[in-house]
Amino acid sequence: MKKAKRKTGEKRSQIAAMPIRRAADGSTELLLVTSRTTRRWIVPKGWPMKGVKDRDAAAQEAYEEAGVLGRVSEKPAGRYSYWKRMSDHFALCEVKLYLLEVEQQHADFREQHQRDLHWFKLADAADIVDEPELSTAIRKLQAQVSLAA
């Protein structure tokens, strides 16, 4: 079966989890992981999975990339676009973000030797990620959390 050719400039879809937890001081923290190639701080993300709801695919990525399990939001909590480095070109990707309220964090997980991970306060997470639209999405989450407190 032939692969469908993608139009030049067409955005590719990705899904991501925003793993969050409540810190001892009552603040909300976001778990970031490093990308495997450039070692930038990112949220766990990947390609949609055939036959799997996007929210469940985002939760699966969070487990594979960061070893976390929890409750995932029904609907996307935001979106952002970025340029993904492919082997021979860059692809414009639009990422749907799903909140994942972390209930368990495992020490052993599939990509544990390929990535670093760290819990950040939301403001710090927004400052440390490279993608401007992801930073904006994290700041919007921070504003929502502040309003709910």
**Distance between CA atoms of 25 and 42, rounded to whole angstroms?**
24
Average pLDDT of the residues in 17-38: 93
C-alpha torsion sign, points 110, 62, 44, 8: positive
So what's the pLDDT on residue 9?
62
How sure is the predictor about 88, in pLDDT bands with cuts at 50, 70 and 90? Answer: confident
CB atoms within 10 A of CB 11: 13
pLDDT, one tens digit per residue, over 103-119 is: 999 999 989 899 999 99
In the chain, where are the structural domains located?
12-148
Assign a CATH topology to domain 12-148.
Answer: Nucleoside Triphosphate Pyrophosphohydrolase (3.90.79)
How sure is the predictor about 4, in pLDDT bands with cuts at 50, 70 and 90? Answer: very low
Does residue 2 carry a pLDDT above 50?
A: no
C-alpha torsion sign, points 112, 128, 15, 17: positive
Q: How far is CA 128 from the centre of its chain?
A: 14
pLDDT, one tens digit per residue, over 61-73 is: 999 999 999 999 9
